A and B are shown apart, each in its own frame.
Chain A
Amino acid sequence: MTKLASKQEWIMKLSTPAKIACASALGVLLVGAAASAKGLEYKDVADMLHSVMESDRTVYTRKVVNRLAVKEKVIKASEHHEDEKTLPLPAQMFRFGAEMVAEKTDKFSYSLLSVWPINKQNAPRTDVEKSGLEFVAANKGQNFYGEETLGGKKYFTAVYADTAVAQACVSCHNEHKDTPRKDFKMGDVMGGVVIRIPMAE
């Protein structure tokens, strides 16, 4: 009982962003635990991971960046956020999380890609990425699932549409000096989240 009470106190002391981060981490861990306990299909695991990612990404884009940068105009969001004392861009927020996961586990990996990337490193590189991104852009509301062999290992690869959920997405991408496309509108598919899970041999 004492232990539980002290744990609750500890959680209460955390700042709101820390709580959100903990909840997200817990969500991802629970997904992992359930997958191994019940032997879920690769597709189900990928779908569950994506639902956590998409929700966090939408929350950050709408409730942090769009609200504070576009609506309230109290702070900007920019690529060089440390130098410029601004918020990380939503795409960076997503990538930082993906890189932190990459340091922790090789059980899955994920990235945010687009056929219209501002950073050219985020253009599709594999055939499955290319087909997947094209498919989710052309078939709104549908996901893409495939298998591919990379570096001698077989992967289950899922691609999910990444859509413009806030005005900030549209305006930043349309106005960026490196953008290859300038006519994005709210609700457009702007790219895709690619999740890879190594398949058992």
Chain B
Amino acid sequence: MVRNAKFWTIWVIATLAGGAVLVAGMFYGGKSRANLLIGATSHGHHQIELACNACHTKAFGSASDMQNACMSCHADDLKTSKDSHPKKKFTDPRNADRLQKLAATECITCHTEHKPEITRTGGVTLPVDYCELCHRDVGKDRPSHKDLAFSTCANAGCHNYHDNRALYEDFLEKHAGDSVIAEKPIIALKASPPDSAHAQSPITQIAEADAPAKHAGSEKINGDWLATAHAQAGVNCSGCHAVGAKSAADIAARWNEKPDHNACKSCHQQEVKTFTQGRHGMRLADGLRTEEAGLLGFFENKPLTPMRPALARLPMQSKASERAVTCTTCHGAHAFNTAKAEVDACLSCHDDQHTRSYVGSPHHKLFEAEIAGSGSKGSGVSCATCHMPRETHENPDTYEEKLLVTHDQNANLRPNEKMIRSVCMNCHGLGFSIDSLADQSLIARNFTGRPSVRVESIQWVMNRLKERGVKADAPEVVK
């Protein structure tokens, strides 16, 4: 009897203790948290899956809390994408019956997390023919679509659910006659300098360096720095190593031997913002923690560590597996050689077929020719030309435009048609671009050769115009 009581006491205590550890892991994080994941997260979120509060902002949050969490990261992209199916189109009561079939006002209807067994490209967890729920009668208005399977709408290079900026009918019509390569295949080169760059006089002498004596740079470091746009814009040692310091004593007191992205952010806000939105830097986004302070100091605030190739799901080089990805990982410190950052840095970690095929590809040859001086400026195509493109950012209030390098390398890859207008069409025609991006084998060969896939969308648009008697003399579609 006594033995039984002891057994039950131990059982109850062990159960409560075990439960407490799990509950603490859920709310405060720490080592037990990884065991609580209810299923592998998608490609887009796996890096931050242990910062549960990134998505689960409240312990017992509502559907709208979850929606707000999605939008806190993805709203800007949806707006830029001119989202074809925004929430505001579905809230009208006349769409109530459609919403009952598909709750299109919430991201998680189509993108459910922790469901690896049903997660497809783009993090979509609905059956592939979901378009049929609302567009069943499309064949009545468009005979060309009559016998098409609804499983092909969004994966044949013709339509996307959100971003159709390069795929809408009138755009296809306008570019039906595009040639394979544009007359002047040149990419806009010079990114706009940060506003702060205009505020100070250039530094031309090493003697002007304001590092405290004990932190003085080597001859190489000083030489590298003096040759950069940093020195030319008057950015002294303290500009990065002691941000905001006003006096020599202040510089010494605030000196940071290894400045991180927060130091860069003091001038390069947009670059760092986009870096922390992409797969290289998302773990460094503000507020993402694996552990939250609490429970009488037993837990403390622990932010996620920088991304390392070892954590990646894409093939990476083993020698680079433990490299922490921050701004200086690709840019290097002091010299900030952008030519190295846009190819060498990528090739030093990535080890997939697309990356390996880049060397020797037509794009790479153009890049080498430009570096060597035999190709015109802006004619080279590096990894960054396509994956971290220079894009025009417009101030919505003043309409002032700036050319900035997007550091979210995934922004134009989900899905890849997002890069057609901002990247491909700088040099190539629309039809050629659509076909190339739909050809997985060509992508693996890093665009060595011509597309073997033919997306019929432009041809169908022109056929439709001819059928309706508009543009009977339309030019033949160039492929």
Contacts and interface: CB of A to CB of B under 8 A. Distances in A.
Interface of A: 79-80, 82-83, 98-100, 102-103, 106, 109, 111, 120, 125-126, 129, 150-153, 155, 177, 194, 196, 198
B133 to A, nearest CB: 14
Given A80-B168, A80-B170, A120-B141, A196 B468 contact: no
A102 B91 contact: yes
Given A83-B171, A150-B97, A177-B465, A109 B92 contact: yes
Given A177-B465, A177-B470, A79 B170 contact: yes
Contact of B99 (A80, A83, A103, A151): A151
Given A80-B171, A120-B141, A151-B99, A196 B93 contact: yes
B319 interface: no
B205 interface: no
A95 B470 CA distance: 27
Contacts of A152: 96
Contacts of A106: 91
A38 B22 CA distance: 57
Contacts of B218: none
B93 A177 contact: no
B88 A102 contact: yes
B159 to A, nearest CB: 15
11 contacts: A82-B82, A98-B92, A99-B89, A100-B88, A102-B92, A106-B91, A109-B92, A150-B97, A153-B93, A153-B96, A177-B470
Contact of B91 (A80, A109, A125): A109
B450 interface: no
A186 to B, nearest CB: 24
A177 B469 CA distance: 9
A17 to B, nearest CB: 14
A194 B470 CA distance: 32
B91 A151 contact: no
Nearest to B141: A120
Contacts of A194: 94
Contacts of B89: 99
Contacts of B86: 99
A167 B354 CA distance: 55
A151 B170 contact: no
A196 B93 CA distance: 8
Nearest to A113: B94
Interface in B88-132: 88-89, 91-97, 99-100
Contacts of A99: 86, 88-89
B125 to A, nearest CB: 24
B96 A150 contact: yes
Given A120-B141, A177-B470, A150 B171 contact: no
Contacts of A120: 141
Contacts of A196: 92-94
Of B91, B93, B97, most buried by chain A (CB within 10 Å of CB) is B93
A151 B92 contact: no
A129 B468 contact: no
Nearest to A98: B92
Contacts of A111: 92, 94
A3 B100 CA distance: 50
Nearest to A83: B171
Contacts of B91: 102, 106, 109
Given A111-B94, A151-B97, 5 more contacts: A99-B88, A99-B89, A102-B92, A150-B93, A155-B93
A80 B82 CA distance: 11
The 6 residue pairs across chains A and B that have the minimum distance between CB atoms: A151-B96, A150-B96, A99-B88, A150-B93, A102-B91, A102-B88
B232 to A, nearest CB: 36
Interface string B165-178: 00010110000000
B376 to A, nearest CB: 28
A99 B170 CA distance: 23
Contacts of A129: 94
B168 A150 contact: no
A150 B94 contact: yes
B47 to A, nearest CB: 31
Given A79-B170, A80-B170, A99-B89, A125 B141 contact: no
A165 to B, nearest CB: 24
A82 B141 CA distance: 27
Contacts of A100: 88
Contacts of B100: 151
A174 B399 CA distance: 35
A177 B468 contact: yes
Contacts of A102: 88, 91-92
Contacts of A151: 93, 96-97, 99-100
